[in-house]
Amino acid sequence: MTAWSERELIRKIRQACNGSSAGLIKGIGDDCCEVEAHGAWLISTDTLVDSIHFDRSWHLPHLLGRKSVAVNLSDIAAMGGRPRFILLSLCLPEDLDAEWISHWLDGVLEILREYDCLLIGGDTVQGRALVLTVTVLGEPVGKGAVYRSGAKVGDTVWVSGPLGSAGCGLKLFAAEKEQPGLLDLSRWQSLLDAHLDPLPCITLGMELAESGLVTAMQDISDGIATDLAHICQASGTGALIHFEQLPFLPELRSATQVLGLKIEDLMLRSGEDYQLVFTLPMGCEKELVQLMEEKGRKVFKIGEIRAGQGVFLQTESGEEEISFQGYEH
C-alpha cells in the first residue's frame, strides 16, 4: 500500500495521536476504541473522493487534511455541539507517496488540536482512488442539540457569515487549471482560502445552543437554497429570503465579473460555505445582537419563516422559488 505498509502507516498515525482526553478509555491499538458514554452523543460522517470532492493539483495535502476534518466538525457545529473524537477511514492508491500522507496527517492533527478533538481510530485499505472518510463524535451543550425541525412561522432567518466564497474559490482554481496564467489569483486570496481551508463555526454553534434562543439550525454545505430548504422541510414551513440582505465578501463581485458568473448563483447555490443558517423567534433579535456584540461576532438577518412550503427569494422583480437548487451530490 503506497510508500508505507498498512502496519507502518497505522504505527505512524498511532505515534502522532498519543494524546489523552476525558472520556477516552482506549484509543488506537485494539479492534475498537472505547469511550465512556454520558448522555447523548452527536455522530456524523463524511466522505471525500479524489477528483470529485477535491483536486490534488491545487489542494495541497496539509490544507486538505484540515478540510477533511473541518467538514465533519461543521456538522457538529450545526447542532450546537462540542466535537470530542474522530475516526479516519482511508482508501489509498498505490502511487500516493509517503510525504503526501505525512503532510495530510499534519493538517488533520493541526485542526484537531485547534478544536480540542482527538483521533481515536479508523481503518486503511488500498484502492484505485484516494477516498477519505471521517467520522466525528461530539456532545450537545446547553439545553441540548439544536435540530432542523424547530422553526416556526414568524421566526427570522439568519446566517453566520458571507456566502458564495468557497464556491467562487473553486471556480477560480478551475479556471486557472484550464488556462494557466490567465488570472492573477492573488487578487482573490480570501475566496481561495474559503475553498481550501474552511473554518467550522464550532464556538458560535455552541454559543447559540447555550443561549436557548435558536429554534432551528443547519450548516451551509450545499448552498443556502438547499440547506434552508432542509430546515423548512423538517419544520413544515416555508421561508422568504431577501437578496439585498445576503452577506458576501467584497472580492466576490470582481471575481464573478472576471469569471462571467452571476453573483446570486454563487451566494445561493454553491456549496462548502460551512457557515450556519439558523432561525430565531420574533422578538428575540435584540437579545441575539447583544449576545453577538458581547462575543465580538456579527451575524446577518436574511429573511423570515412563513406558512406554506418552499424557500423563495425576494428581489426587485418579485419572488422566485429556489428550494433545493444548491449543490447535488
Pairing of strands 300-306, 318-321: unpaired
Say yes or no to pLDDT of 249 above 50: yes
> Which among 253, 254, 247 is positioned nearest to 273, based on CA atoms?
247
**pLDDT tens digits for 87-127?**
999 999 988 998 999 999 999 999 999 999 999 888 889 99
Say yes or no to pLDDT of 50 above 90: yes
Count of beta carbons in the 10 Å neighbourhood of residue 308: 12
- As a whole number of angstroms, the distance between CA 117 and CA 87 comes to 11
**Per-residue pLDDT, 192:** 98
In the chain, the domains with their CATH numbers are: 6-140 (3.30.1330.10), 148-321 (3.90.650.10)
Q: 30: buried, middle or exposed (CB in 10 Å: 19+, 13-18, 0-12)?
A: exposed
- Give the 3-state secondary structure of residue 241: strand
> Which among 156, 140, 118 is positioned nearest to 25, based on CA atoms?
118
For residues 242 and 303, the answer to whether their CB atoms sit within 8 Å is: yes
pLDDT band at 63 (very low <50, low <70, confident <90, very high): very high
Say yes or no to pLDDT of 147 above 90: yes
**Per-residue pLDDT, 329:** 56
**pLDDT tens digits for 168-200?**
999 999 999 999 988 999 999 999 999 999 999
73: its cell numbers: 466538525
**Per-residue pLDDT, 121:** 87
Question: Minimum mean pLDDT among 2-6, 7-11, 43-47: which range?
Answer: 2-6
| Cβ density class 90-114: b for 16+ within 10 Å, e for less | bbbeeebeeebbbbbbebbbebbee
**Per-residue pLDDT, 6:** 53
Tell me the whole-structure pTM to 2 decimals: 0.90
**Per-residue pLDDT, 190:** 98
